[in-house]
Amino acid sequence: MNKKREETNIITLHLGNGCSACAIKAGDSLDTSMGLTPLEGLVMGTRGGDIDPSILEFIHHKEGMSLPEIDTMLNKQSGLLGISGLTNDMRELLDEEKEKHDRRATLAIDIFCMRAKKYIGAYLAEMGGADAIVFTGGIGENSPTVRERICAGLEWMNLTLDKKKNNSTVNGKEEMISSPKSGLKAFVIPTNEELLIARDTVRTVKNAPRRW
């Protein structure tokens, strides 16, 4: 978009088996959906995301589960897997919805997309607007259907997808998927976590005090 780093205001949606949203204002991370642990925030493959804290006590009394058992359930048996009762794989859920009209698969996808949309709205309010929404991660990069469902209803924010570009942007392709007239842009930008880890490691090693 030909903007300097300090002029860049974006919302990133990293959508995969693990998911997070991040509000980036003036080039710096302002807020993120993950909390003390990755469990907070968006619905993920097996993580439930944001919940009412009283759910812990409710499940303990209703099911007789211990705190470690509840923690395991919320991290490894919830999210897309728990809602659908089928799988944590978004591709399989989309197939189940399309071919078998499975209502729980549809429910899982709808909640997944709705939760992402809520964070977009919250971060736009927190930052006073943004230049773009960026989709990344396995689902974000490869599921035009999920991207379309997340962006549906955001036309009032002046965001309209280019259907052709959205549908053709998969398999590591980087592309602007919003229409040219959209004020709020949408991009698909493949993630490169390994490169970021390598860069952070180099910075850490370079700045570490010598011990010899």
Question: In terms of Cα–Cα distance, which of 158, 19, 25 is closest to 11?
Answer: 25
pLDDT digits (tens, 9 = 90+) for 50-88: 999 999 999 999 999 999 999 999 999 999 999 999 999
Asked if residue 144 is part of any domain, the answer here is yes
pLDDT (tens digit per residue) in 88-116: 999 999 999 999 999 999 999 999 999 99
CA distance 198 to 83: 36
Please report whether residue 45 resides in a domain. Answer: yes
Interval 145-175: pLDDT, tens: 999 999 999 999 999 999 999 999 999 999 9
Counted domains in the chain: 1
Expressed as residue numbers, the domain containing 194 is 5-207
- 141: in domain: yes
Whether residue 212 is predicted with pLDDT greater than 60 in this model: the reply is: no
Q: Which two tokens stand for residue 86?
A: 């089928």
User: CA-CA distance, 52 to 40, in Å (whole number)?
Assistant: 11
Closest to 188 measured CA to CA, from 178, 170, 174: 174
* 3-class secondary structure, 194: helix
Report pLDDT digits (tens) over 190-208.
Answer: 999 899 999 999 999 998 8
Does residue 197 sit within a domain?
yes
Give the CATH number, domain containing residue 43: 3.30.420.40
Strand, helix or coil for residue 132: strand
Within a domain: 112: yes
Range 106-133 average pLDDT: 97
Exposed (0-12), middle (13-18) or buried (19+): which is 107, by Cβ within 10 Å?
A: middle
- Flag whether 212 is in a domain: no
The set of residues, in sequence order, having a beta carbon less than 8 Å from that of 145 and lying 6+ positions away, is: 94
Q: Classify residue 137 as left (phi > 0), alpha (psi -120 to 50) or beta.
A: left
Q: Which of 158, 102, 113, 104 is nearest to 135 (CA)?
A: 113
Instruction: Please work out, in degrees rounded to the nearest 5, the angle formed at the alpha carbon of residue 49 by the alpha carbons of 43 and 50.
Output: 125
Instruction: Compute the half-sphere exposure of residue 208: CA atoms within 13 Å on the CB side of its CA.
Output: 9
Q: Work out the pLDDT band at 209, boundaries 50, 70, 90.
A: confident
Query: What do you get for the CA distance between the two ends of the chain, in Å?
Result: 47
